Amino acid sequence: MTMDELKPKQSAFIRSVGGTGALRHHLLDMGLRPKTEVTLQKIAPMGDPVQIELR
């Protein structure tokens, strides 16, 4: 499952972080790391942006 498949209020654990270079580094800096639980809080009407909660 990827994060775009989550429904609002649904949680999952990050298994891996994709991307390369600066993008991957930025995601890791924001706390999106393997074994971290994420909960999708909100999706904007057009689908972007999304709000997630990290635990």
The total of other beta-carbon atoms located within 10 Å of residue 39's CB is 15
Which amino acid, residue 52?
I
Here the contacts of 47-54 (C-beta below 8 Å, separation 24 or greater) are 50/3, 52/3
* pLDDT at 37 (0 to 100): 98
Indicate if the pLDDT at residue 1 is higher than 90: no
Domain ranges of the chain: 3-54
pLDDT number for residue 24: 96
Instruction: Give yes or no for a contact between 50 and 40, defined as CB atoms under 8 angstroms apart.
Output: yes
| Homologous superfamily of 3-54 | Ferrous iron transport protein A (FeoA) (2.30.30.90)
pTM: 0.82
Length of the chain: 55
**pLDDT computed for residue 55 by the predictor:** 87
Q: How buried is residue 37: exposed, middle or buried, by Cβ count under 10 Å (0-12/13-18/19+)?
A: exposed
pLDDT in tens, 6-55: 999 999 999 999 999 999 999 999 999 999 999 999 999 998 899 999 98
